[in-house]
Amino acid sequence: MKPFDLSQLSRAHEVRFASDEPADEKLPWPQFTVADLNFFYGPHQALKEINLIVPNKRVMAFIGPSGCGKTTLLRTFNRMNETIPGTRVEGSIRLGDKDLFSFPATRLRRVVGMVFQKPSPFPKSIFDNVAYGLRLDPSIRRNEIADRVEKSLRRAALWDEVKDKLHQSANGISGGQQQRLCIARALAVEPEVLLLDEPCSALDPISTAKIEDLLFEIKDLCTIVIVTHNMLQAARVADYVGFFLNGELIELNRAKQIFQNPEMQQTQDYITGRFG
């Protein structure tokens, strides 16, 4: 038996940054423009005076301790919060150059797709799960559906694993596969934006890595906003990172900047684990 060195236990992960763009990079057009946004659950104010721009075709991550409002903001982007009674929004959000609240909510949610924390496949076959969103739209022809299901499953890097069991129940595949299935389901309707609410928090590291790879693949197709508790994940996948604390946006910057040289003391404290 060989003794081992303490440094082996604590060897730091080598972080690979998603974005190494130069500082003078011109940002693409804004996908979301949030101005003076306040959000209330009854008397409790969950978001305070949020101002931010989410650039198009980039990955933006929201980090922060539990209850800091990052998920609330995410769910405001596709207006899922409206379904909770007693909530109130103040301020404005623009999707592209249009007011987010001028869309019918059902149409908006086809443009702004969402994947949730817990894999939530429908108790149907794998094929039907992906086809579900397509079938909601009567303008999509029946014979198109099979092609689009295959395309989405390929994009979600799941096709090779499930192509032989498309008609088996989606509850029979692993949690990581289920989550990728949910991503495929969201991608099938070809959204402009994909919102991900802690998509890997229930998954093992290998499944997490697969989902992160997949996000790299699809970021040319749509804007991605991801909420995560895992700072390494934010560092790995995001071009931009927003740090939230107690309902306020403390700092928003290039991922590398946030993790290597944050401007705010609170950000520094959070990412170094001084509080959480």
Partner 1 sequence: MSNVVLATPEVPFESRGLDKKQTWWERLRKGDEVVHLITLAGGWSILVITGLLVQHLWVYSRLSRHAFGWHFLVDSTWDPVNGIFGAWPFVYGTVVTSLLALAISIPIGLGSAIFLAELAPRKLSNALTFLIELLAAVPSVIYGLIGIFLLIPVLFNVVPYVQKYFGWIPIFNGTFYGVSYFSASIVLSIMVVPFIISISREVLISVPVSQREAMMALGATKWDVTWRAVVPYARQGIMGSIFLSLARALGETMAVTMVIGNVAQVSTSLMAPGYTIAAVIANEFTEATGDLYLHALIELGLVLFVVTMIFNALARLLMLTMKGHEVVG
Binding residues (CB under 8 A) for partner 1: these are 1-2, 4, 78, 80, 83, 106-110, 113-116, 118, 120, 122-125, 128, 132-133, 136-137, 167-169, 182, 185-186, 189
Closer Cβ to partner 1, 168 or 265, answer by number: 168
- Contact, 208 vs 201, CB < 8 A? no
Shortest Cβ 192–partner 1 spacing (Å): 13
Long-range contacts of 153-162 (CB under 8 A, 24+ apart): 153/126, 153/181, 153/184, 155/184, 155/187, 155/214, 155/217, 155/218, 155/221, 156/180, 156/181, 156/183, 156/184, 156/187, 156/214, 157/210, 157/213, 157/214, 157/217, 158/184, 162/126
Q: Which is nearer to partner 1, 1 or 206 (CB)?
A: 1
Residue among 183 and 235 whose Cβ is closer to partner 1: 183
| d(C-alpha 105, C-alpha 84), whole Å | 14
Shortest CB 79 distance to partner 1, Å: 10
Which tokens belong to 27? 């940002």
Length of the chain: 276
Nearer to partner 1, 48 or 151 (CB): 151
Residue 266 CB, shortest distance to partner 1, in Å, is 31
Report, in Å, the least distance between residue 113 CB and partner 1.
Answer: 6
| Shortest Å, Cβ 133 to partner 1 | 4
**Least separation in angstroms between CB 268 and partner 1:** 35
45 vs 59, 62, 69, 138, CA distance in Å? Answer: 27, 18, 9, 40
Q: Among residues 64 and 133, whose Cβ is nearest to partner 1?
A: 133
| Spatial distance between the Cα atoms of 35 and 42, rounded to a whole number of angstroms | 21
Residue closer to partner 1 by CB (options 115, 215) is: 115
